[in-house]
Structure formats: structure tokens, C-alpha cells
Amino acid sequence: MAATPSPITEAIAAAGGVMRLAERLGLSHPSILRWQRSGKVPAERVAAVEAATGVPRERLRPDLFPPIPGVTEAQALRAEKIRRWQAENRAAMDAQNEWVERNGLPLAKYRMF
């Protein structure tokens, strides 16, 4: 039976590797490797890691963000399903964002706002 990956390892995988996570956070890759060795994301970086990877803060630092009372199992499963979908489709989303940055929004000249 495979062991469950640590939350920081899960975040690294969701980002596409140590270098990609460091790039998204504007940090050096040794910083990310230190987090991985310690098994903890620094408190001031939890929100940024959550935004960059989709790994919830409750998973990254349960000591700082305990599970929210009243969250049903169905809600937790839905959140996990969304997180996995984002992780699986991260490359496609990044490619689309890069294309839009290079070429602009399709049909932008027809936008009314």
C-alpha cells in the first residue's frame, strides 16, 4: 500500500514540480526544498501555495487552519474532486493563459466592457 504524500509534496506535484512552484510563488527552488524537508509550508506562504496549487490550507497547515466545523463529507469530497481536476488540468490551463498573454483575448474587439 502506497503512503499518502505529504501536503507539501502534493502541492509540488500539483504545480508541476519544485521549479514550477517556486516560479509561481516568486521564490527560489531551495526555499521549496526546505519546506519539503521540514514538511511545513511557512504560515505567511500558505495562502499563496493554496492559490497556486489548489491544495487547501486546511491540508497544508492543519495546525493553523483546523477543519471547518459543519463541513459535510459531501462538501469535502467535492472540494477534493475540484482540487484533483485542477491538478490534472494545470498544464492545459497554463498553456491557455500563456496563449492569451501572447495573443490577447479572442474577439476582444467585440467586447462591450
Joined grid coordinates for residue 66 = 483546523
Quick: pLDDT tens for 77-108.
788 888 889 889 999 999 999 999 999 888 88
Note the pLDDT tens digit of each residue in 25-59: 999 999 999 999 998 999 999 999 999 998 888 88
The arithmetic mean of pLDDT across residues 48-71, rounded, is: 86
Q: Give the domain ranges of the chain.
A: 7-105
Q: State the fold for domain 7-105.
A: 434 Repressor (Amino-terminal Domain) (1.10.260)
Mean of per-residue pLDDT scores for the chain: 88
Residue 55 CA to residue 103 CA, distance in Å, equals: 30
Helix (H) or strand (E) holding 6: none
- The torsion region of residue 87 among left (phi > 0), alpha (psi -120 to 50) and beta comes to alpha
